[in-house]
Amino acid sequence: MNAPPDGLPLLRRLTWWTLLGCLVVVALLIAAEAVRLPWRAAVMTFAATAVAITVAAVLFARPLRDPILVAGALAGAVVVAVARVNDTGAFPWVLPLACVTAAAWARWTPPVVPAAGSGVAFLAALAGSRGAVTQALVDAAITALGAGGLYAQIWVLHVAERLERARTLERAAAVSEERLRFAADLHDIQGASLHVIALKSEFAQHLVTGDPARAVAELREVQELALRALTETTDVVNGYRNVSLDREIVNAARVLRSAGIAVTIPELPDIKEPAKALFGLVVRECTTNVLRHSAASRCEIKVFVNDGLAELRLTNDRPLDPAPAPAGGLAGLAGRLTAAGGALDYAGTPENFTVRATVPVTA
């Protein structure tokens, strides 16, 4: 057996069919009461009811110009006045005007709309019943209640539609955020690995004629780097990669030393794994930048904890550009650290370039 439809489409269909059904019921109620009136009053009531119900139906479906709305309100007022002249009571004569009021309220939503509808009902009843204030107040109250009941159904639909739009935007934002995260992870892996592979391949090319054994060793390291990059890329695609600060520092030291750069490796303090993972990404990005944007001969890595903040500092000498623009991988990492309650900043001089990353120990 097929499952019943659900969700916003079902609510939308129920709302509009309910409104249409209410308009039909109102028209039938008025017709049943109007047949008891003198024929001139009955004809006038039928015509005014038809105008009011038609205006309300079209207004529920799409906005109308103000003159047509006024015509619907006047038609509803005529029904009320005819009923009061013939002393036939308030209900259901005020319902056509209530329908027009609810439809206008749903389109423009100012509080003045139901108040205006009730005022029209009050004035029409007051004129038709020769000054019976109590009867006029009853008509105004029923008009307000009837309009509020119809508007409540429309309001529920509008709230559901806004929630659905919010969910759609939330899903789109989540997809965009995941794409940015995926792009950042790929940059972290492929940027460093491919650059090191390129440097080692070039180095091996120069060693082929002068030192073939060293060239073979370098090419083997290139192969290992390529295989590791392939594995890490697969892990990223599957969402399973875990960055390790210990491993990233060891890898950075090995890569930098192979490029002739002296590296100082720190003793790692006791910090939580999420903070260590963020620092691992910083070490990886900085290693790439040292190789690409400096002629460094030394690099110092420090990790320590101070007042509940874990801090990573990576300093290298001889930067090619002591004041780079905040772009690329460092800018992306700055956003990730900020989201975790930390920060990333960097400063350079002609002699040294320092990257400083902080994150709460409990991040």
What does the pLDDT look like over 249-292, one tens digit per residue? Answer: 888 888 888 777 899 887 888 887 778 888 988 998 888 888 88
CB 144 within 8 Å of CB 120: no
Domain regions of the chain by residue span: 8-169, 177-360
CA atoms of 321 and 16, how far apart (whole Å): 66
Superfamily of domain 177-360: Histidine kinase-like ATPase, C-terminal domain (3.30.565.10)
∠ CA 320-323-324, nearest 5°, is: 80
AA letter at 77? A
CB atoms within 10 A of CB 295: 11
One DSSP character per residue, 49-70 reads HHHHHHHHHHHHHS---HHHHH
3-state secondary structure of 247: helix
Q: Which helix (H) or strand (E) holds 109?
A: none
CA atoms of 346 and 330, how far apart (whole Å): 9
Residue 344 pairs in a beta bridge with: 357
Among candidates 89, 100, 125, 88, which has minimal Cα distance to 48? 100
CB 50 within 8 Å of CB 5: no
**pTM assigned to the model:** 0.47
Q: Dump pLDDT digits (tens) for 89-117.
A: 777 878 787 877 777 777 766 666 666 66
CB atoms within 10 A of CB 104: 28
- Give the confidence band of 317 by pLDDT, cuts at 50, 70, 90: very high
CA atoms of 313 and 289, how far apart (whole Å): 14
AA letter at 184? A
Percent with pLDDT over 70 in the chain:
79
- Give the confidence band of 352 by pLDDT, cuts at 50, 70, 90: very high
The answer on pLDDT for 148 being more than 50 is yes
3-state secondary structure of 327: coil
Structure tokens of 31? Answer: 């017709």
Q: Which helix (H) or strand (E) holds 363?
A: none
Q: Dump pLDDT digits (tens) for 39-67.
A: 788 788 777 777 777 777 777 776 656 66
Q: How many helices (H) and strands (E) does the chain have?
A: 11, 5
CB atoms within 10 A of CB 146: 25
